């Protein structure tokens, strides 16, 4: 059992709004850091108004948009107008005893207020500043504002998402923002470790475009190796077949075959033994080459099964499969319930952190803050 959370005693000043920067701040709060969120007087973080839906607490009092609560758990809010000298002095006083500043202003914007990393080092030489921007501190696009939707498009993700004959699609959540928040957290923890060793702070440069490109993963390497830009495959996998959604008589099931043995077992279960014996399909490389024939044969067979019966048969053989759940299904799933992923704090719903240390889930004890 953990006596204290890993980041207890660490103080974070968050000069960030919307999603990427606040996501990093929330994760640090879940791990035990004290996170002080600096918001504009009167209106606060833009996402307080990004609804409906809106949240009310256990007493029926309005608490702002659900969006805001998704990325601001565990923080303390202060309202400061740092466009004037008094507000700037307030922020510097917060930073004096802080370990980390997270900010997501356009490149150079904080310099005119004397709140950029170089200026704040004069107040706190051990300070770690994490700057989150759309395109980074350098390069021809550095002055631009960056939004997740644009970054998914520019960073290649939308070219890989959607049906082959359809238009490019963004993901259903803001993954460029969320991945940037995650990478920012990793960078902050590395900088804290380095500061413990050398006693000096650091300026971290996190860009949404960098992070979106970085998570192209196997698709980027597929392009480097082949010289051909990958195309949209709908629910298909570029490197594995069969590995996609298949229709049954009463629903849809994901079947994810990862090796030749699983393919052979799948074929026998579906009454397609001849398919598994065909030398064209005996290896994954062959199945990728003959994707259309393999997928068509399997889908014709799966339509004769109910989703439940097919899933049960495949699970016995340890062939990975799963249903396509909507969010009502997700939060009614016994595994999700058992893992405690839906939480409530002071009558306000929320999502748990996925991090579990020595059996204890890392969740900040307070919900998202009210605007002072």
Q: Give the side-chain half-sphere CA count within 13 A for 203.
A: 13
Structure tokens at 30: 């879940």
- Strand partners of residue 132: 206
Q: Which residues are catalytic?
A: 177
Helix (H) or strand (E) holding 280: none
Distance CA 117, CA 111 (A): 8
Rounded to an integer, what distance in angstroms lies between the CA atom of residue 352 and that of residue 340? 7
Sign of the Cα pseudo-torsion (182, 208, 188, 183, in order): positive
Residue 58, phi-psi category: left (phi > 0), alpha (psi -120 to 50), beta (remainder): alpha
Nearest one of 342, 318, 321 to 331, comparing CA atoms:
342
Beta pairing partners, 321: 255
Q: What are the φ and ψ backbone dihedral angles of 129, each rounded to 5 degrees?
A: -110, 125
Give the β-pairing of 356-357 and 360-361.
Answer: antiparallel
Strand order in the sheet with 243-247: 243-247, 252-256, 321-323
Burial of 372 (0-12, 13-18, 19+ CB in 10 A): exposed
Cβ-count burial 307-321 (b if 16+ within 10 Å, e if not): beebbebbeeeebeb
List all residues 6 or more positions away from 84 whose beta carbon is below 8 Å from its beta carbon. none
Cα 11 from Cα 181, distance rounded (Å): 17
What torsion do the CA atoms of 44, 344, 324, 231 make, to the nearest 10 degrees?
Answer: 30
Q: What does DSSP say about strands 243-247 and 252-256: parallel, antiparallel, or unpaired? A: antiparallel
């Amino acid at each position: 059992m953990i006596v204290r959370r890993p980041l207890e005693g660490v103080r974070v000043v968050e000069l960030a709004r919307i999603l990427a920067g606040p996501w990093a701040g929330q994760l640090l709060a879940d791990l035990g850091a004290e996170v002080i969120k600096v918001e504009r007087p009167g209106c606060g973080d833009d996402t307080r108004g990004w609804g409906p839906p809106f949240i009310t607490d256990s007493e029926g009092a309005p608490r702002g948009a659900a969006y805001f609560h998704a990325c601001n758990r565990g923080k303390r809010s202060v309202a400061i107008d740092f466009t004037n000298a008094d507000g700037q002095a307030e922020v510097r006083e917060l930073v004096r005893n802080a370990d980390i500043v997270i900010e997501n202003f356009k490149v150079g914007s904080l310099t005119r207020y004397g709140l950029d990393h170089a200026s704040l080092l004069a107040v706190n030489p051990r300070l770690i500043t994490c700057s989150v921007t759309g395109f980074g501190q350098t390069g021809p696009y550095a002055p631009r504002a960056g939004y997740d939707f644009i970054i998914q498009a520019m960073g290649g993700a939308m070219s890989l998402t959607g049906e082959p004959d359809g238009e490019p699609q963004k993901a259903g959540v803001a993954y460029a923002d969320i991945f940037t928040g995650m990478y920012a957290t990793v960078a902050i923890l590395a900088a804290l470790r380095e500061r413990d060793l050398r006693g000096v702070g650091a300026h971290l440069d996190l860009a949404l475009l960098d992070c979106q490109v970085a998570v192209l993963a196997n698709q980027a390497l597929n392009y480097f190796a082949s010289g051909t830009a990958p195309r949209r495959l709908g629910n298909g996998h570029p490197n594995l077949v069969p590995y996609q959604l298949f229709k049954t008589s009463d629903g849809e099931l994901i079947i994810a075959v990862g090796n030749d043995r699983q393919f052979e077992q799948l074929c026998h279960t579906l009454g397609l033994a001849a398919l598994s014996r065909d030398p064209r399909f005996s290896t994954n490389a062959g199945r990728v080459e003959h994707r259309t024939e393999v997928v068509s044969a399997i889908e014709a067979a799966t339509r004769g099964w109910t989703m439940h019966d097919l899933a049960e048969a495949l699970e016995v053989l340890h062939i990975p499969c799963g249903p396509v759940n909507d969010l009502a299904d997700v939060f009614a799933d016994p595994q999700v319930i058992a893992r405690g992923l839906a939480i409530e704090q002071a009558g306000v719903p929320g999502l748990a952190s996925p991090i579990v240390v020595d059996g204890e889930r890392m969740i900040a004890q307070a919900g998202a803050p009210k605007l002072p």
